[in-house]
Amino acid sequence: MEAEYDFSQGKRGAIDPMPSGKTRITICLDNDVIEWFREQVHLSGGGNYQT
């Protein structure tokens, strides 16, 4: 690890811009709701329940 880092060229904000047609949100869901989504993905052959 360096003793100091140069952030003079750093930029604020998200590292990757959101793709067109998608909006990032934060919500709280019960664990059983998340488990239902995971189960649906598993039953359909895999993938990612988060997209």
pLDDT in tens, 1-51: 999 999 999 888 767 788 899 888 899 999 999 999 899 999 998 887 776
The answer to whether the beta carbons of residues 18 and 24 sit under 8 Å apart is yes
What three-state secondary structure class fits 1? coil
pTM, 2 dp: 0.49
Instruction: Compute how many other C-beta atoms are within 10 angstroms of the C-beta atom of residue 29.
Output: 10
- How long a stretch of residues is the chain? 51
